[in-house]
Structure 1
C-alpha cells in the first residue's frame, strides 16, 4: 500500500497542463466504439479508470489502438459489439459501470460488470431501477456489483425523473435510449454534467434539451468524429486550491474544460475570495475551454449555495481543504451524494481534518468546517483508497508547517497518473513510498 509524504512549500509558480478530462475520455471510447467509421481521440486520459473502459470495449471486439494520449477507435456500429469471454472488470470506475449498464442492457448477448473492492460497495439500484422500467434484465447482489445483464431484451422508451442530480444515471438511461423504441426523456431536478448530450451531438445524434429535460429518439446511428479531450477541471481543482492557500503562488492551468455544468469549484473559490482568472476562452468539439490563472488569496468562510453543489460534486475534497484555510466558518449542505462516492467523502475528509487539528462537524448531508491552522498530524491520513482524498490532503501541506503523510494512495493512478510530477514541477514537495 503506497503512501504520500508531503512537505511545506514556500512558493508555487509555473504553467502546467493537467491530464485529459476523465468524463469525456470515458464517453469517447463508448460512443466511438458504437459509431460507424474511425474516431480519433487526442488528449485521452491515461488513468486506470479510463483505460478500464478502453479495455472493456476491446474485450467486446472493438479495435482500439493507443499511442500515449492518442487513441484510434474503429467503430463497429450500433449492433457490432460482441459477447465478452469474461466478466468486464472496470476497476474503481463508477462512471464506467453505470454508463455501460445502459449500453449493455440493449445488446443481444449476456454480460457481467465487476470491479474492485471499493466499486463493489457502490449503490447501483439508481441505474437498475430505470433500466428495468425500460425492459432490461439486470441484477446485482443487494443492487451492488457485480452486475449481471441478460441480453436479447427489447427496450422501451420511458420518461424518468432523476431522484438526484446525476450525470451517471442520466447518461445510463440515454445510452439505453439509443436502442429503445420511442422517445426516451430524462427530467432533472438539478443541473448535472452534460458531456453525454454534447458528445452525442458531436457524433451526429440528435438530442433535444430544455432547461430540465433531455430527450432522444431511439433507432438512430452515430457517425465517427475527431475528439480533442480538454484538461480535467476535477484534476485542476487541486492546484487551484493549492495556489489559493499558498503564501506565494502564481500558476496557470492550461486548456481546462470549463463546461458550465462543471465550474462549481471556480464559483465557490471566487465566493470565498479566491484570486481566480479565466483567459483565452474558446470552444472545441462543443466543449468550453480556458486557461486559468490562480494566485495567493485571502479566503473567507461561506455558506456554499446549494445550486452549486452538483456543479462541484467531485471537487469537494479539495474545497474542504480551502475551507480549512479560510477565515471563519464554511457550511456545506445538500451534498449527501458525497457519501456514496469511492468512499464516504464527508466522513473520511472530516476524520482527516480532525487529525490535522481542524474543527469540523459532520452533517447528514454535508459538513461545517471552521477555518484555522493545520497542526502536526496525530496519525497518518487514511484515504480509504479514494484518489481524491489522497490528493486533497497532499495539497494541504502547502499551508502546513509539518509534513503530512497519507496512506493508501494507489488509486491516484485512476484519474491522475502524473500528479506528483506536476505538483513538484510548480514547487510542491511530494514523495511516494511503497
Structure 2
C-alpha cells in the first residue's frame, strides 16, 4: 500500500494569511464502503456517483471483485457494480489485502460469516495491530469459525482467517461498546441468515447501514426504546440494485472547517456535506465553542441529509464536551483537539476510549504532538484536556510523527496553518487512504505548503 512502501513524504505548514474559497470534499467513506458491498450483494447493476476513491474504499472494491462481483469505473467517474446476490459470494483465491482499512475488514467479516466460504484478511502494520475481538465474538455466536493472530494486551488481530457457516444462526445481540462497525457486521451477516437478526445498541451510532439496507430492499425495522435502538433484520434477503449519490464526508469536511475557524480572516464554503445527525456531532460542538458554521441549502440526497457549510474565522472558547456525543464524532476528535489548541480557555474531552484502538492511539499521539508544538495538555485514560492558546498563533516548530494515521497527519497539517513556526508531519502518505486531494484543497484555499 502507498502508506507503507517507499520513502516518507514530509508535509510542512505555517501561518500564511486567511483561507478563502469554495471547495468540495471526497465522498463519505462510510457510505462508499457500504454502497460497494450492498451493490455486490444485489441482483443487477448498482450505479454509484461521488464514491470516495481513497485507498480504503478501493480495498473494499478489490475484495468484492475477489468474491465474484464485477466492478468498473467510467471515465466520467461513475462506478458500476454487478452483484452476485445474497448467498452468492465466491471463494477468494488469495488473501484479501485490506491495507489500512478497519471498516473494510470488520464489515467484510460480517458478510463472509454467513456464506460457505473461507477468506484470510491481511493488512498494513497499523491495521495489523488493531483489535478484531469485538467483531469476532458475535460472528462466532452466529457460527463462523475464526482464527486470528495474537496481538498485544490479549488482542485478536490480523492476519485473520474466517470460515462462514451457511445457514448461520440468527442472533439477538446487545452491543457492549458503541460501535457502528460491530453493529454493521452483525446485520450484514444477518442478510444470509434464516430468521431475524437483532442488534440492540444502548448508545446510538452512525446509522448508514440501516438507511442503506432499507434502501436496497432489506426487511429491516428500527425501534427506539428505553434500552436503546433495536434494529431487526429478516434474513435471506433479496437486495435490489440502486442508483446512489454519495454525499461529501463530514469527517473529511472537518479539516477545512476547523482550518477556517482558526485562521484569522478566513471565509469558506464547503459544498455537499453529509449532515446525518449520527455524524454531525463536531458541528454542534464547534458551534457551542463559538464557531461560525452556517448550514445552507439543506436537502436530502439518496436518503441522507446534506447541506453546504459556510464557515468563517471565529474566536473559539474552550468547553467541557459531553461524553455522550462521542459516537457521533469519534473520528473527528483529533481535529477537535486542534480547534481546542487554538481556543481561549480549557477544553475537556472524555469518553474517548475508542480512540486508543484506532489507526494509532490517537489520544497519546495527539497529546505528544500538541505538546511538541507548544500546547499545554493533559492526557486522561479516556480523553484529553487541552489548554488553548487564547486565539494567538501557536509556537509550532515541531516535527510530528503521525504513526501512519491519516487523521493525525491531516490534523497537524491544519494546526500548522495557525503556527508561528512550521509544523511538519513526518509522512503525509497515509492521507491518501481517505482524502487523496487534501493538499491540493488546502492550496486552493490559499495555504502555503512545503513538501
TM-score per shorter chain, which class? over 0.9
1:225-283 CA-to-partner distances (Å, cap 9, x unmatched) read 10000000000001110111111111000000001100011011011000000010111
Q: Is the 8 A contact 1:49 1:90 kept in 2?
A: yes
Aligned residues: 432
Q: Is the 8 A contact 1:394 1:430 kept in 2?
A: no
Residue 139 of structure 1: how far off its partner (Å): 2.0
Residue 376 of structure 1: how far off its partner (Å): 4.1
**Partner residue, 1:199:** 212
Runs of 4+ in 1 over 3 A off after TM superposition: 373-379
Does the residue aligned with 2:240 lie in a helix, a strand or coil?
A: coil
1:294-331 CA-to-partner distances (Å, cap 9, x unmatched) read 00101000000112111110001110000001100000
Q: Is the 8 A contact 1:137 1:153 kept in 2?
A: no
Does the residue aligned with 1:238 lie in a helix, a strand or coil?
A: helix
Q: Is the 8 A contact 2:12 2:416 kept in 1?
A: no
Q: Is the 8 A contact 1:357 1:374 kept in 2?
A: no
**Partner residue, 2:49:** 42
**Partner residue, 2:5:** none
d(CA) in 2 for partners of 1:95, 1:28: 13
Aligned Cα RMSD in Å? 1.1
Within the candidate set 122, 135, 138, 2:143 is matched to 135
Q: Is the 8 A contact 1:257 1:289 kept in 2?
A: yes
d(CA) in 2 for partners of 1:145, 1:397: 34
d(CA) in 2 for partners of 1:200, 1:430: 42
**Partner residue, 2:68:** 61
1:173-188 mapped onto 2 (5 Å cutoff): 173-188=186-201
1:178-204 CA-to-partner distances (Å, cap 9, x unmatched) read 112221111112121100100011111
Residue 416 of structure 1: how far off its partner (Å): 0.3
**Partner residue, 1:426:** 445
Does the residue aligned with 2:206 lie in a helix, a strand or coil?
A: coil
Is 1:84 the counterpart of 2:103 in the alignment? no
Within the candidate set 303, 311, 321, 1:294 is matched to 311
**Unaligned stretches of 5+ residues in structure 1:** none
Q: Is the 8 A contact 2:396 2:416 kept in 1?
A: no
Is 1:334 the counterpart of 2:334 in the alignment? no
**Partner residue, 2:123:** 115
1:129-165 CA-to-partner distances (Å, cap 9, x unmatched) read 0011111111201211111012344311111111111
Within the candidate set 309, 313, 319, 2:326 is matched to 309
Does the residue aligned with 1:220 lie in a helix, a strand or coil?
A: coil
When the two structures are superposed, what TM-score results if normalisation uses the length of structure 2? 0.94
d(CA) in 1 for partners of 2:193, 2:109: 14
When the two structures are superposed, what TM-score results if normalisation uses the length of structure 1? 0.98
**Partner residue, 1:386:** 405
Is 1:273 the counterpart of 2:281 in the alignment? no
**Partner residue, 1:19:** 26
Residue 332 of structure 1: how far off its partner (Å): 0.5
Q: Is the 8 A contact 2:292 2:311 kept in 1?
A: yes
**Partner residue, 2:153:** none
